[in-house]
Amino acid sequence: QKEVEQNSGPLSVPEGAIASLNCTYSDRGSQSFFWYRQYSGKSPELIMFIYSNGDKEDGRFTAQLNKASQYVSLLIRDSQPSDSATYLCAVSSNNNDMRFGAGTRLTVKP
């Protein structure tokens, strides 16, 4: 079992729709959770981080964390074609390293 699991996609949504990206993790000691966006050929850039159970909203993005279920998600409202990218879920514990999922490829169709 991989430490961080994501559906590889591709996930395709129409412009203006809500895109829902999911991630599960295996280490119950995980303390912080990150969503990175990676455009093709580019390096990852941080979109959201969340530490506590519940929802965290930032503009069109909402991160949701459920530690009991070891589940974290990212919702993108009013999806735009420019949101088309690979979204990486990353999990960190006290060990200072960050474990990434393989990423979900999102396509937003105009």
Partner 1 sequence: GAGVSQTPSNKVTEKGKYVELRCDPISGHTALYWYRQSLGQGPEFLIYFQGTGAADDSGLPNDRFFAVRPEGSVSTLKIQRTERGDSAVYLCASSWGGGPYNEQFFGPGTRLTVL
**Taking CB under 8 A as the rule, does residue 95 contact partner 1?**
yes
**Taking CB under 8 A as the rule, does residue 98 contact partner 1?**
yes
At 97, which helix (H) or strand (E)?
none
**Taking CB under 8 A as the rule, does residue 32 contact partner 1?**
yes
Contact track, partner 1, 1-30, x by CB under 8 A = ---x---x----------------------
Furthest-apart CA pair in the chain: how many Å?
Answer: 42
At 96, which helix (H) or strand (E)?
none
**Taking CB under 8 A as the rule, does residue 90 contact partner 1?**
yes
**Taking CB under 8 A as the rule, does residue 94 contact partner 1?**
yes
Q: Are strands 54-58 and 61-66 parallel, antiparallel or unpaired?
A: antiparallel
Report the alpha-carbon distance of residue 99 to residue 76 in Å, rounded: 22
| Listed ranges 10-18, 39-47, 61-69, 75-83: which one lies at the site for partner 1 (CB under 8 A) | 39-47
**HSE toward the beta carbon, residue 9, CA cutoff 13 A:** 22
Binding residues for partner 1, rule: CB under 8 A, are: 4, 8, 31-32, 42-46, 49, 51, 88, 90, 92-103
